[in-house]
Structure 1
Amino acid sequence: MKLITMFLFLTFIPTINWETDFTIAKKTAKEKNELILLNFSGSDWCGPCIVLHRDYIQSEVFKEMADKNLVLVNADFPRKKKNIGTPEQVKQNEQLAELYNKEGNFPFTLLLDANGKIIKTWHGKPQNSPEEWTAEIKAICDSRK
């Protein structure tokens, strides 16, 4: 019985789906009337980035909210060769940084509308709990529907 319960629980956990193409992210956000959460990270060297992803973005409360309200884009700037994306992905991330993160802040998270207009930004790891941060984002999403 425990195995069945665990299987059912794991089956219904939303997964984080990251869009890799910002143009597609904007198109999807328009079609679904959702906002875009753009996160700049250094996944293999930036301690606060790792904490943000582990404790906030991978939290169940965030995943459930994001699944219904957000198109997620991660502009990752890893340093280890094995973690660096395709040349196309690197170029796109650099273009996003030129547009939204000229100062090179990590982590740096932006909430954008479907046209790419900035609604709110977070420098570094949020100061509030994952639940409070998620509720803040959800309230903004709800106010724009």
Structure 2
Amino acid sequence: MKIKYLAILIMVLAFSAASCDVSKKPAEVTPEPDTEVVEANEQVWLVDFDMAAAEAQKKDLPILINFSGSDWCSWCIKLMDEVFSQKEFLDYAKENLVLLNLDFPRRTKLPQEQAEKNQELMQMFGIQGFPTVIVLSSQGEILGRTGYQYGGPQKYVEHIQEFLNK
């Protein structure tokens, strides 16, 4: 009788172990059919706070800061794929925001100065989790704090506009 239970236990453990494949990629997100995906890059997203602040003051635009773990945080990846890389969002941002991406990757190594500056900013803004998105006025006043929101680029733009219209 013990052998029978032992055999069943071994089979259950074997199936459990086989189903725990940690190398699986996160599920791919398919953009909405009427939106065009645009690659997010340094030309769209700044990575230096001082440059973003100068740009915001020069153009009198708010700064959208994305605190992200781009290579390990699944919600950060979803936010980038579903919202921040979409043409609809980028078209809005081009005229209305200065975009700043402060990344905290685990697999990719940032230049030391950039990593230290990002860490300072994370502490300064009291970031507790990822993704955290902060909207600042061109004078540096916090207008809003958010994260991932369901609904795609149009809903996210409306959500950001709520902070700007306060």
TM tier relative to shorter chain: 0.7 to 0.9
C-alpha contact (below 8 Å) 2:62/2:137 kept by paired residues = yes
Number of the residue aligned with 2:97 = 70
Normalised to the residue count of structure 2, the TM-score between the two structures is 0.69
* Alpha-carbon distance, 1:59 to partner: 1.2
The 3 A distance-change label for structure 1 pair 51 and 73 is same
| Higher CA-based Rg | 2
- Larger strand percent: 1
CA distance in 2, matches of 1:121, 1:40: 11
1:41 correspondence with 2:68: yes
Higher RCO (CA-CA < 8 Å; seq separation 6+):
1
C-alpha contact (below 8 Å) 2:40/2:84 kept by paired residues = no
The 3 A distance-change label for structure 1 pair 66 and 14 is farther
Number of the residue aligned with 2:150 = 127
* Alpha-carbon distance, 1:29 to partner: 0.4
* Alpha-carbon distance, 1:130 to partner: 2.3
- Cα deviation, 1:50-105, whole Å, max 9, x if unaligned, reads 0000001011110000011111111111101xx221001101100110111342x1
Aligned residues between the structures: 128
Residue identity opposite 1:28 in structure 2: E
* Alpha-carbon distance, 1:139 to partner: 5.5
C-alpha contact (below 8 Å) 2:68/2:130 kept by paired residues = yes
- Cα deviation, 1:25-72, whole Å, max 9, x if unaligned, reads 111101101010001110111000000000010111100000111111
**CA RMSD for the aligned pairs?**
2.2
Identity across aligned pairs (percent)?
Answer: 32
CA distance in 2, matches of 1:54, 1:15: 9
Question: Structure 1 regions of 5+ residues with no counterpart?
Answer: 1-9
CA distance in 1, matches of 2:162, 2:68: 24
Matches within 5 A, 1:46-125: 46-80=73-107, 83-103=108-128, 105-123=129-147, 125=148
Question: Structure 2 regions of 5+ residues with no counterpart?
Answer: 1-35
Normalised to the residue count of structure 1, the TM-score between the two structures is 0.79
- Cα deviation, 1:6-30, whole Å, max 9, x if unaligned, reads xxxx9xx796511122112111101
Residue identity opposite 1:92 in structure 2: K
